[in-house]
Chains A and B, each alone.
Chain A
Amino acid sequence: MANSPMTITSSPLDDGQMVQVTGDIDYSRSSELRVELMGLLGRPVARLIIDLVGVNYMDSSGVAVLVEALQIQRKRNQKLVLCNLQPKVKGIFEIARLNTVFTLTDSVELAKGA
């Protein structure tokens, strides 16, 4: 379970931005994710899709970053969709009961229509 390198890439959508994240997200990494997301949300983004297909592990510090991004989007009446959550990542959302708060989809295509 060595920490695999974290990468964050973003690409434009017709109505927003998609961010793809790879690597484990723990307390040593979550600030990097926060910087990237807050930078992206420095301007309005109608739909922000975060693809977590390459994230095998996330702790509550990573979840907190996503909660912060969700709050920003909610206040602007804009969308945040998380997709392709791997089992361990889905697990922490279930434990924290955030799976009912976030919009979660099983694919990028579904996220584009959510």
Chain B
Amino acid sequence: MADHAPISIRIDSDPVHLCVVRSAVETAASRFGLPQHDCDRLVLAVDEAMTNIIRHGYGGRDDRSIWVTLSRLARNGQTGIEVVIDDETEQIDTGLIKAKPLVPANPDEITPGGLGVGIIEQSVDHHAYQRRTDATGLRLTLQKFASPPPTNDGGPSKTSLSAKA
């Protein structure tokens, strides 16, 4: 397999398959040169996105399709990975997909659930929701680039901050 060839997966919308996609994404991201911390964040973002499709897009049905395509990216000497997640959910206004504030000022006002979109935004360098043009459904594109090695003080370098989309 050419190292830059996209990897495509189709799974049924059954939550028991989430671990299969997590494993594939982690393996591909590692092969593409992302350090473990970045792999972990990307895996979490993909898992949250697929869970949202299953719960909200497909209403819990486990017999619908989800497609995941993994491609290697290179940008200004940085290596990265693009994950495209396609579904067949009803066309919705992508502007309505918004993250709720992760933590309200008053901890007693924290509500269970609804964290997924915010976690996706926080976990990748770029994300975009689009209506599919090839079929009915939604496309989510995620991009994650390898973080530069930490500086001597253990924090991220300025390069990694400026690279954040």
Contacts and interface: CB of A to CB of B under 8 A. Distances in A.
A74 B47 contact: no
Nearest to B115: A60
Given A57-B22, A91-B41, A96-B115, A101 B51 contact: no
Nearest to A99: B103
A27 B108 contact: no
Interface string B29-49: 000000000001101100110
Contacts of B23: 1-2
B48 A97 contact: no
Given A2-B19, A28-B15, A67-B111, A92 B103 contact: no
Contacts, number: 82
Q: How large is the interface on B (under 10, 10 to 19, 20 to 34, 35 or more residues)?
A: 20 to 34
Contacts of B110: 67, 70-71, 98, 101
Contacts of B48: 59-60
B18 A27 contact: yes
Contact of A26 (B15, B103, B108, B123): B15
Interface residues of A, number: 29
B22 A1 contact: yes
Interface in B105-154: 107-108, 110-113, 115-116, 118-119, 122-123
A3 B41 contact: no
A33 interface: no
A40 B38 CA distance: 36
Interface of B: 14-16, 18-19, 22-23, 26, 40-41, 43-44, 47-48, 51, 54-55, 102-103, 107-108, 110-113, 115-116, 118-119, 122-123
7 tightest A-B CB contacts, nearest first: A28-B15, A64-B112, A1-B23, A60-B115, A3-B19, A97-B103, A67-B112
